[in-house]
Amino acid sequence: MVAYLVVFGCSLVAGLVLTPLVRWAARRLRVLDLPDGFRKLQERPVPRMGGIAIFVGFFASLWVSSRLHHSVVLPRCFGDGDFSSVFLGAAAVLVIGLWDDARGLGARTKFALLAAVAAGMCVAGHTIETISNPFGRDIVLGYWAVPATLFWFLACMNAMNLIDGLDGLSGGVAVFAAATMFATSALFQNGNIAFSALALAGVGIGFLVFNLPPASIFLGDSGSYLLGFLVAYIGLRGSQKASTVVALLIPIIALGLPVLDTALAILRRWARALPLFTSDGQHIHHKLLGRGLSRWQAVLIMYAACIVLGGFALVLTAARDLSAAGVLLLLAVATVLAVRMVGREEIKLVKNRLIHGLAEKRRATGHRIAGHEATERMRQAETVSALWQTFAAAAERMELDRAVMTMTPPWPLPSRRRSSCTFRWRREAVSFDSGEVSASWSASFPLIAGGTRLGDLEVNKFTNGCPLAPELPEMLQLLSSSLADNISRVRPDAADEQRLRVQAS
């Protein structure tokens, strides 16, 4: 117990002392977060190099504690000799975040660099080998251990970054997660990992003194990514030393709030066909503010959610088999209710995109069937009029609006003159003179057979600003080629000759 107090005291003092120093340095270096009225809701520029205070305070407090109390052995706090890999990984994440805070990094570049750090942790031996299963045997990942570990580190880092949009929110979530992992590690008698979790909680509380609304310093990307990295590592190592059948779920549940926020953001951007790295102002804290809550009220509500999730995680430490399954079922019900409360818009967007996607898939299939069936029927046609009627039927099924074929047939009239004629088709459901059509797509396809140009096919489709179905140009190219080939094959009937004579005159 004394060792725990030493670690917590050192880390708390480190956070309280280092944070003002870092704030001063950030102001001198002009590394400031500027308000934009969209995602950055503060009223004035705020320093954003908080990651330095977290990094130095975390490692320094453990080093000082190891000198003050014999029970705190620095290497063992990081998994029996893994101190170097954790220190280097955290330092790399800090540098990436500082680079982004000071100079700005592209989202893809930043993601690739963080993925490289996660890969380095895998090389150092920090991998998820098994996943607990409360309903039976543990799931051995085998070759999937490395992808699962990469996903774990990247998910934690990005989740903490995405939720960092309100004063004190990301830091508070990290503190509650670290406190939960400290409690569970202590219950598992995993004292070494408990020291790391307690140090993170202590330095986080020290930082929060200056980060609560109205914040005088922000974590910045350096701090949010670093907190995510440390939480991911502590959760991974703590689960490996635990005996409960749901060990790895404990840090996941403790991070339930940023995990839910990240999941909703991914669904929202996917449903809108936006890149996943696109920023928006529709995270959970933005929705709470949009309902008229103050910043303090929004932060306190989200802290309360973290406390509830931490309680679930602690209950799971004593659960076994069916008891654990019951707790997980209760948590699943609570998650569904939470999603219905804060994720209604995302659910609606996803539902609409799925319905639209299924409708578009059915429409595309119908277009392709119409095109291929028409080419088969054209092979059976004996006159140009029959060919055109077949094309017109396909055009109707493909939801085209107008088509014109200008043709100079390869066979002459009895007067030995070769003449051209025009075939026209228009979908009856559309009025071209009503002024209701705001945008249209048109294309022209040459009718060429045996190296001879027999005419042209022009088509129109009114889109009203909607994107054109990608299969339409492909099917029209197929139909125009079939028209040309079959025009050169058929012979004219009386109707064809009459049309040619009338239009020639």
| 415 Cβ contact list (under 8 Å, min separation 6) | none
Question: Phi, psi at residue 417, to the nearest 5°?
Answer: -95, 140
Is residue 153 a contact partner of residue 118, using CB atoms and an 8 Å limit?
A: yes
Q: What is the pLDDT of residue 153?
A: 93
Q: In angstroms, rounded to a whole number, what is the distance separating the alpha carbons of residues 256 and 260?
A: 6
HEC per residue, 419-450: CCEEEEEECCCCCCCCCCCCCEEEEEEEEEEC
Quick one: which H or E segment has residue 211? helix 191-211
Q: What is the pLDDT of residue 245?
A: 47
Q: In angstroms, rounded to a whole number, what is the distance separating the alpha carbons of residues 435 and 12?
A: 71
β-pair partners for 130: 140
Read off the DSSP letter of residue 457.
Answer: E
Read off the DSSP letter of residue 274.
Answer: -
Is residue 169 a contact partner of residue 300, using CB atoms and an 8 Å limit?
A: no
* Per-residue tokens: 456: 């042209």
Q: What is the pLDDT of residue 248?
A: 65
User: Residue holding tokens 């009718």?
Assistant: 447
Q: What is the pLDDT of residue 469?
A: 83
The count of other CB atoms within 10 Å of the CB of residue 2 is 9
Cis-peptide, bond into residue 214, ω within 30° of zero: yes
Q: What is the full DSSP assignment across 340-404?
A: HHH-HHHHHHHHHHHHHHHHHHHHHHHHHHHHHHHHHHHTT--SHHHHHHHHHHHHHHTT--EEE
Q: What is the pLDDT of residue 345?
A: 83
Q: Which residue, 289, 78, 302, is CA-closest to 190?
A: 78
Alpha-helical runs (H) found in 190-321: 191-211, 220-240, 249-254, 256-271, 284-290, 295-318
Q: In angstroms, rounded to a whole number, what is the distance separating the alpha carbons of residues 338 and 305?
A: 10
Per-position pLDDT tens, the chain of length 505? 788 888 899 999 999 999 999 999 988 888 887 776 555 656 688 888 889 999 999 999 988 888 887 766 666 666 555 778 889 999 999 999 999 888 888 888 999 999 999 999 988 888 887 776 656 666 777 788 889 899 999 999 988 888 887 888 888 999 998 998 888 888 777 777 888 899 999 999 999 999 988 888 998 899 999 999 999 998 888 766 554 445 567 777 878 888 888 888 888 888 887 777 777 777 888 788 888 888 888 888 888 888 888 888 777 776 665 566 677 777 777 777 777 777 888 888 888 888 888 888 899 999 999 999 999 999 988 888 889 999 999 999 998 999 999 887 665 555 445 567 888 999 876 555 544 445 788 899 999 888 888 889 999 988 877 778 888 999 999 999 999 988 888 766 655 555 555 554 5
Kindly list the structural domains of the chain, giving each domain's residue range(s) and its CATH number in brackets, ordered by start: 2-258 (no CATH), 383-504 (3.30.450)
Q: What is the pLDDT of residue 416?
A: 47
Q: In angstroms, rounded to a whole number, what is the distance separating the alpha carbons of residues 445 and 150?
A: 50
SS3 of residue 460 by DSSP? strand
* Per-residue tokens: 27: 């102001």
User: Residue holding tokens 């066979």?
Assistant: 411
SS3 of residue 164 by DSSP? coil
Is residue 277 a contact partner of residue 161, using CB atoms and an 8 Å limit?
A: no
Q: In angstroms, rounded to a whole number, what is the distance separating the alpha carbons of residues 407 and 391?
A: 14
Task: Give the Cα-Cα-Cα angle 464, 469, 473 (nearest 5 degrees).
Answer: 110
